Structure 1
Amino acid sequence: MRIQNVLGSLRARFLRFHGVGIQPTRGLVESIHRSMKYSDDELFRYTSGRWIYNEQLRLSERRLEFDVSALKDIIAVASGRAPSDIVTFSKLSEGGFNRVFQTTFKDGRCTIARLPYPSTAPEHYTVASEVATLDYLRLHGIRTPEVYAWCSTKENPVGSEYIIMERLGGIPLGDVWYSMTPREQHKMMKQLVEWETRLMSLEFPAYGSIYYRNDLPSEKSIPLPGQTEVKFCIGPIVHYSWWHGERSTLNIDRGPWLSSTDIFRAVGERELSWTKVYAKSRLPYERLYREIYDFCKVSPDTHIENLFDYLKLVPFLGFSAGSAQHRPVMRHPDFQPNNILVSESNEITGLIDWQHCSILPLGLVAGIPKPFQNYGDAESEALREPQLDLPPNFDSLPPSEQALIRETLQKRLTHFLYAALTKRLNEDHYDAIFNNAAILHQRLFQSAGTPWEGDSITLRADMIRAIQNWRDLLSVDSVQCAKGTSPLPPIQYSDTVIRDTLEFDSRQRDADIAMDQMRHALGVDVLGWVPNSEYEAAKELAQKIKTKMLEAAETVHDATAVRDHFPFDDFDENA
């Protein structure tokens, strides 16, 4: 029996075993860890959760040693206090890229210090861009923390980059969202869409990320016009995908860009440069993909060919100047409930965590934020207003089924509210969300820009779908339509290549669904993270899953595959 079939046959059993009442916010952030006192070593290491596989690697990525006394001194001076005024200094929260500390002074004032992990890239640009972005947004009436002091290099007494900033009032929306009534959620979602609409209405002359002009003295930049904006500019895009791993050493085009077509070109050239120099034959990173390739290593040569084909498509990608989808817009880089602060009266008090913020064409960034999506559900995809009445026999159902029903209704309501309110308050965004050309552009951009880790199928499959929907791709907002031309696709694939590629792509998508369902049953995110309190139970359940898969294996080959490639065991990520 093949691994995928085993997973499929056991999926419902695992869900019943674990229960499906998992908070939908899990996996959105690693932690909102409440302020506590720690020893210096605990300040340096990650303590807000566990990983059920490759934990030592994840911990090493997040270990940050720094001079605690020097940081306290800087916090005190930046806050207009003396170091002797500090009452408490404690770890407040930990996420995927930063550790946050809170300092409390004698007068009750609290200040936040945010330090990126050593693995957070790119150095200098990440901190410099976030500080400028926070300042720019505050000047335009969007409530963000005020920055008191910052340093974008490790060359300082602290020994780490840092941002010292105001602690905004309010609590994370994620703490209260699922206890709100539908009426309260409607009110809150209306506020969220209004805030997003204000953010997306800001006007920018180019694509990239925001900086202070003084922080990019020798780099290409485009000034932001206006009396109050002379100190700001748009410079290289700060999103980590452009700097990940060896990409930070490559001489590549990271913007700023005036043309949306240039963004599509730059992302393909970036990945082609990296793949040609650094990619080696390997097993697919996604372990359920490995069975598809008979557990053999995959050569990067096919992906290199795909990237060359993609670059042939680039002149036909992009949006026409002046169109709504071409307009440079900013969206929050991680728009999810734990980065949205609200008051006791359910009013938004501010948005936090603007790291890696970018400005891109509306046609590329349009979409329902992932925490509010419910794709895969027919009712949600049809944008039908959900019926919130519970079934008549609800009280007689097992707790796990009750939880599943409540979660389904909750997801449908959230998806519908976001879409309906966006249609009313931000029509350009709504139109782009459901525009076929924009969807095709987004898929090509994402698959071309995904680091190669053994998957040579997804990009080719997306190019095939783009060719099959060529007229949709060249919509009224496309750059080619603006030229008054309707050319034929510059690349073609044989029937055999199309059939084989789409078949492999379908099998990989099935594997993705199986993995998502296994993660949901275990309560872990894509890296295997789980809250401390649930670590032992998740590890135990993972081993029970593995045992059942071994019992279901029909051949020695199947058993070996489960033993050596089980997706929740430690593994070599670069093998």
Structure 2
Amino acid sequence: MTMSCSSIHPEDGCTLCFQLSLLAKLMNDSYNEQLRLSERHLRFDVSALKNVIASLSGRVPSDIVTFSKLSEGRFNRVFQIYFKDGQCVFARLPYPSTTPEHYTLASEVATLDYLRLHGIPTPKLYAWCSTKANPVGSEYIIMEKLSGIPLGDVWYSMTPKEHHKMMKKIVHREAQLMSLNFPAHGSIYHCKDLTSEKKIPLPGQKDVEFCIGPSSHYSWWHDGRNTLDIDRGPWLSPTDIFRAVGERELCWTKTYAKPRLPYERLYREVYNFCKVSPDTHIRSLSDYMKLVPFLGFSARTALHRPVMRHPDFQPNNILVSKSNEIVGFIDWQHSSILPLGLCSWNTETLPELRRQYVRLCKRGWFISLYAAFTRRLNEDHYDAIYDNSAILHQRHFTSIGTSWEGVSTTLRADIIRAMQSCRDLIATDSVPPTRGITPLPPVQYSDKVVQDTLDLDSRQREADIAMEQMRHALGVDVLGRVPNGEYEAAKELAEEMKARMLEATKTAHDITEVRHHFPFDDFDEDA
């Protein structure tokens, strides 16, 4: 692979600033805080980074008067640098735990360049390096500072009429993005940044320097997956993607999985607080591979078409001007090109979009407004939102791509549901009907296995609801994070919650279970 470093000198008079991907609040972790901090611990040469930044505008490091940490996100740390004349530079460095090295940053760089070339407003790049093998000792990226402010900062002050106009602009830009034509699925790169990897050039005359290469999404690389000899793309058909995901998880589970307690601690009671063997999961993955030829979308439908959507489409990644014009979209890390049928919003994911905006909007008509403009401006996406085949495929894609964490029931339950809805699931050209009869996938379970699996899955769903209620009460997100300013209060409330649970227990065994498996205590994640 190519380890790329690039430095582009701006024209004289340009203001050199980096626009971080909409810095969220600093977050603490409600459990295993020290482990998360160790994963984010980054050693690098500050002087070398100052040299890089200063040289971009013909300055010297002594022109820098302050260098301070501005914020931390899920994958990156951002530093803020001021010069004597008041100009500011932001530098973003990924954590050592951010994967994959080279591909993540190289793909984001190419994605930003490609989208800007096609009229999608994104920050310009001034300097970047996709490998730690440089004087700084870390990957880094420096971009221009866009002049807008986060939509989330002004949404409250907007009138309903302004909300209406803003949503129309957002959907128009999303439709513009999803109208771009790609020859395959994967991630965008500059051709020069991929040497030995499989790549498919983009066909347009002005796109000759770009190609589709391996997926840069972390799901293909984390937790040892970077060591596996697997197909990470690019892929020509949705069926190829489903096959590759299944092979990835089957290879990883056989290589690394071991008996363990479920990672989700509220699931542990479902399994009698015993370690679960990965053998059942391996069998379910093998069953899934038998379904692969039946998965995908007909090439005659829009659901088959490769499209790109923003990887984190939420208000704080949309920058707007004082006159409510969209200035740009930021935070394109881990962007992927997938078939429309896999990356569209649907009736299951739209509630998640609503939750992202609920603090801003407080109005139930948000989703209706989004859907109305999507129907008018992006008809294929609107149709995909309510397409039952797309919904089933997305559910299955998520299930098969989820790491085994001590639970084997979810995947098997989804396979059973797929069998029950096979007529909606079978939509490929590769398995045509015979004499008008839709072929049945070659997977069968006994009535007892079906019932036992669905019963266990139902108990897990009840635990999911309870966990969501607890997170909501504590103000903790699904990753266990809480804003710094709310951290101490959340910890106190969690302790009170645990105390009440202990008071409600009736046996010594129950007390032990609460003490050792409370979901907001530190715990051994590999146990």
Question: TM-score normalized by structure 2?
Answer: 0.91
Q: Structure 2: which 5+ runs fail to align?
A: 1-20
Which one of the candidate residues 394, 410, 424 is aligned to 2:376? 424
Structure 2 residue 505 is the aligned partner of structure 1 residue 567: no
1:277-300 Cα distance to aligned partner (Å, 9 max, x none)? 110000000000000000000000
Which one of the candidate residues 193, 205, 208 is aligned to 2:186? 208
Q: Secondary structure at the match of 2:268?
A: helix
1:205-228 Cα distance to aligned partner (Å, 9 max, x none)? 000001111111111100001211
Distance 1:408 1:560, change over 3 A: farther
**Match for residue 362 of structure 1?**
340
**Match for residue 36 of structure 1?**
none
Out of 56-65 and 118-127, give the one that drifted further.
56-65
Q: Secondary structure at the match of 2:104?
A: helix
- 1:532-571 to 2 correspondences below 5 Å: 532-571=484-523
CA distance in 2, matches of 1:372, 1:487: 32
CA distance in 1, matches of 2:171, 2:483: 30
Q: Is the 8 A contact 1:115 1:163 kept in 2?
A: yes
Distance 1:111 1:369, change over 3 A: farther
Q: Is the 8 A contact 2:102 2:131 kept in 1?
A: yes
1:387-440 Cα distance to aligned partner (Å, 9 max, x none)? xxxxxxxxxxxxxxxxxxx96982522222222211111110111111111111
RMSD: 2.3
**Match for residue 121 of structure 2?**
143
Which one of the candidate residues 99, 106, 109 is aligned to 2:77? 99
Sequence identity percentage: 71
Structure 2 residue 149 is the aligned partner of structure 1 residue 171: yes
Structure 2 residue 280 is the aligned partner of structure 1 residue 288: no
CA distance in 1, matches of 2:88, 2:203: 35
- 1:205-284 to 2 correspondences below 5 Å: 205-284=183-262
Distance 1:376 1:114, change over 3 A: closer
Distance 1:372 1:347, change over 3 A: farther
CA distance in 2, matches of 1:272, 1:111: 45
Q: Secondary structure at the match of 1:293?
A: coil
The Cα shift of 1:542 comes to 0.2
- 1:390-539 to 2 correspondences below 5 Å: 410=362, 412-475=364-427, 480-481=431-432, 486-539=438-491
Q: Secondary structure at the match of 2:298?
A: coil
Structure 2 residue 42 is the aligned partner of structure 1 residue 50: no
CA distance in 1, matches of 2:399, 2:388: 17
Q: Is the 8 A contact 2:290 2:441 kept in 1?
A: no
CA distance in 2, matches of 1:271, 1:371: 23
CA distance in 2, matches of 1:363, 1:96: 27
Q: Secondary structure at the match of 1:480?
A: coil
Q: Structure 1: which 5+ runs fail to align?
A: 1-28, 34-47, 378-405
CA distance in 1, matches of 2:73, 2:164: 28
The Cα shift of 1:165 comes to 0.9
CA distance in 1, matches of 2:447, 2:363: 40
Out of 320-329 and 298-307, give the one that drifted further.
320-329
Distance 1:368 1:79, change over 3 A: farther
The Cα shift of 1:30 comes to 11
**Match for residue 162 of structure 2?**
184
The Cα shift of 1:442 comes to 0.8
CA distance in 1, matches of 2:72, 2:476: 17
Report the AA paired with residue 104 of structure 2: T
**Match for residue 32 of structure 1?**
24
1:225-246 Cα distance to aligned partner (Å, 9 max, x none)? 1211111110000100000111
The Cα shift of 1:480 comes to 3.4
Could you say which structure has the greater relative contact order, defined with CA pairs below 8 angstroms and 6 or more residues apart? 1
The Cα shift of 1:108 comes to 4.3
CA distance in 2, matches of 1:408, 1:340: 13
CA distance in 2, matches of 1:529, 1:474: 39
Q: Is the 8 A contact 1:146 1:166 kept in 2?
A: yes
Q: Is the 8 A contact 1:86 1:105 kept in 2?
A: yes
Q: Secondary structure at the match of 1:138?
A: helix
Which one of the candidate residues 280, 288, 295 is aligned to 1:317? 295
CA distance in 2, matches of 1:108, 1:351: 26
Q: Is the 8 A contact 2:81 2:88 kept in 1?
A: yes
The Cα shift of 1:174 comes to 1.9
Distance 1:145 1:538, change over 3 A: same
The Cα shift of 1:371 comes to 9.3
The Cα shift of 1:369 comes to 11
**Match for residue 17 of structure 2?**
none
Q: Is the 8 A contact 1:110 1:167 kept in 2?
A: no
CA distance in 1, matches of 2:307, 2:383: 15
1:321-367 Cα distance to aligned partner (Å, 9 max, x none)? 24200100001111111111111222211111111000010001111
Q: Secondary structure at the match of 2:224?
A: helix
The Cα shift of 1:109 comes to 3.8
Report the AA paired with residue 431 of structure 2: Q
Report the AA paired with residue 526 of structure 2: N
Q: Is the 8 A contact 2:476 2:482 kept in 1?
A: yes
Q: How many residues align?
A: 504
The Cα shift of 1:479 comes to 5.0
Q: Is the 8 A contact 1:173 1:341 kept in 2?
A: yes
CA distance in 2, matches of 1:89, 1:163: 16
Report the AA paired with residue 495 of structure 2: Q
Which one of the candidate residues 80, 99, 102 is aligned to 1:121? 99
Question: TM-score normalized by structure 1?
Answer: 0.84
**Match for residue 8 of structure 2?**
none
